[in-house]
Amino acid sequence: MTTTEIAPLTGLSEAQVGALRLDFPLLARSVNGSALAYLDTGATSQKPRVVLDAERDYYEQRNAAVHRGAHTLAAEATDRFEDARGTVARFVGADDDEIVWTSNATEGLNLVAYALSNATAGRGGAEAEQFRLHAGDEIVVTELEHHANLIPWQELAVRTGATLRYIPVDDDGAWQLDAAATVIGGRTRVVALSHVSNVIGVVNPVEQLIRRAHAVGAIVVLDACQSVPHLAVDVHALDVDFAAFSGHKMLGPTGVGVLYGRRDLLNALPPFLTGGSMITTVTMESAEYLPAPQRFEAGTQRVSQVVALAAAVDYLTAIGMDRIAAREAYLGQLLVRRLGELPHVRVLGPQHSALRVGLASFDLAGVHAHDLGQFLDDRGIAVRVGHHCAQPLHRRLGIVASTRASTYLYTTVDEIDRLVEGVTAAADFFGAGT
């Protein structure tokens, strides 16, 4: 495929997108006198009415603490909560007891890192020995990680004496796979990597690194925040050991995230948070813990959010992840091509990858991303500006900030046209390139 060709419109037609937009109340509003063009799903997605209704229905009809109480409401709430676990498990190709509810992806990634340092501190008994890190052991990340998949590993290294190493990216922000062969080696114990970069939007060749990591006996932790909402992801087929993602980026509410963990690993790991609901027996001196997933779900759970996330997953499944992925690959290529054709615009990342989601970040020469974001907002166009929680990647690409446009199943081609017109007008207004 050349730089100017783009994939044909597949997946969802403009008419189908127009129809499903009616499910999203917020998309009907105007901002600063213009129809809203919401191009910030990479940060958080908008919610269809079925998700809002599911949360309301839960509170109006079933609200109770789960896994406790001998009353009907508690039983109904528990059924909904556990059914939701099954719904999410099927969505990502996992088994029900491999799904742990968290607050968001950030908490899921921290959960793994803290559980590993608890094992290193001697918690978890003989079963957890396999996770113990020693001085000189290595934790490997990549240079394009979101801070949520970098800082927990920096902290784990400090707590355990392990060394943090990284797989560098090239000038296009693509992993230098040759370097991976030397960075991932005999001392590597953990490899933490993103499925899709939240800055570049390209689907990373994770399979290669997963194979390499397992060949040296390392655990693989996948940041699936920008992949699970946009592509059909099967965690068993990918053969990752852990994967984290956030509900709010996939039509669900804030306050709920998911950590997938391989059953045997979850059951051998010591817990991260401790307290009620995750124990079998407690004495004044010690406690015994439930098997996974409950051993990682301490305290009163976020039931309404979990139930609403299942409604979001049902909505996505009914439309079809393959259709959504095809539509977004098209929108992503459209963004890259249309923005890349503008004078003074540098789109970050490879220009002709066919494997991408609908997300592109760019720099408008001589114009600060915040000024551009404000200019676009005046026209009702919502984009993300700044470093997108990926400072090392921006530094590597030679910029401090960029502007990011990101799409979802509700994004229209007209919204991308408006973005391109807005950037063109901003370039003129601010004298880009001078």
Q: Catalytic residues, which ones?
A: 389
Does 113 bind ligand PLP (CB under 6 A)? Our answer is: no
194 is an interface residue for ligand PLP by CB under 6 A? yes
* 6 or 331: CB nearest ligand PLP: 331
Q: Which two tokens stand for residue 107?
A: 């908490």
CB 231 within 8 Å of CB 357: yes
Interface stretch with ligand PLP, choices 9-17, 122-130, 141-149, 401-409 (CB under 6 A): 141-149
Among positions 382-421, residues that touch ligand PLP (CB under 6 A) are 389
φ, ψ (nearest 5 deg) of residue 99: -110, 120
Is the Cβ of residue 245 or residue 289 nearer to ligand PLP in the bound state?
Answer: 245
Contact segment (CB under 6 A) with ligand PLP among 143-151, 153-161, 166-174, 176-184 equals: 143-151
Give the per-residue contact string, 52-91, with ligand PLP (x = CB under 6 A; - = no): ----------------------------------------
Does position 198 interact with ligand PLP (CB under 6 A)? The reply is: yes
Between 229 and 380, name the residue whose CB sits nearer to ligand PLP.
229
104 binds ligand PLP (CB under 6 A): yes
Q: At what angle do helices 413-430 and 369-378 cross, to 10 degrees?
A: 120
Contact window for ligand PLP (CB under 6 A) among 78-86, 100-108, 175-183, 270-278: 100-108
State which of residues 47, 62, 85, 146 lies at the interface with ligand PLP (CB under 6 A).
146
- Counts for the chain of helices (H) and strands (E), in that order: 14, 17
Pairing type for strands 279-282 and 287-289 reads: antiparallel
Cβ-count burial of 30 within 10 angstroms (0-12 exposed, 13-18 middle, 19+ buried)?
exposed
Which is closer to ligand PLP, CB of 89 or CB of 148? Answer: 148
Contact between 203 and 231 under an 8 Å Cβ cutoff? The reply is yes
Q: Is 106 in the site for ligand PLP (CB under 6 A)?
A: yes
Torsions phi, psi for 100 (to 5 deg)? -110, 130
Interface residue with ligand PLP among 142, 149, 160, 403 (CB under 6 A) is: 149
Q: Is the Cβ of residue 111 or residue 310 nearer to ligand PLP in the bound state?
A: 111
- Burial of residue 299 (number of CB atoms within 10 Å: 0-12, 13-18, 19+): exposed
Residue 324 C-beta: closest distance to ligand PLP, Å: 17
Exactly one of 87, 120, 226, 402 binds ligand PLP (CB under 6 A); that residue is 226
The answer to whether the beta carbons of residues 23 and 48 sit under 8 Å apart is: yes
Q: How far is the CB of 223 from ligand PLP (least distance, A)?
A: 5
* Binding window for ligand PLP (CB under 6 A); candidates: 219-227, 291-299, 354-362, 378-386: 219-227
User: Residue 223, SS3?
Assistant: strand
Strands (E), 181-241: 188-194, 219-223
3-state secondary structure of 356: strand
241 touches ligand PLP by CB under 6 A: no
CB-nearer residue toward ligand PLP: 83 or 155: 155
Helix 303-319 / helix 72-91 crossing angle, nearest 10 deg: 40
Q: How far is the CB of 107 from ligand PLP (least distance, A)?
A: 7
Give yes or no for residue 148 binding ligand PLP (CB under 6 A): yes
Residue 163 CB-density burial (10 A; 0-12 exposed, 13-18 middle, 19+ buried): middle
Distances (CA, A) of 152 to 109, 149, 266, 305, 408: 7, 6, 18, 25, 28
Dihedral sign for Cα 271, 276, 278, 280, please.
positive
Return the range that interacts with ligand PLP (CB under 6 A); candidates 59-67, 102-110, 282-290, 415-423.
102-110
CB-wise, 142 or 246, nearer to ligand PLP?
A: 246
103 or 130: CB nearest ligand PLP: 103
- Rounded Cα–Cα distance for residues 250 and 245 (Å): 9
376 binds ligand PLP (CB under 6 A): no
Interaction of residue 225 with ligand PLP, rule CB under 6 A: yes
Residues interacting with ligand PLP, by CB under 6 A? 104-106, 146, 148-149, 194, 198, 223, 225-226, 246, 389
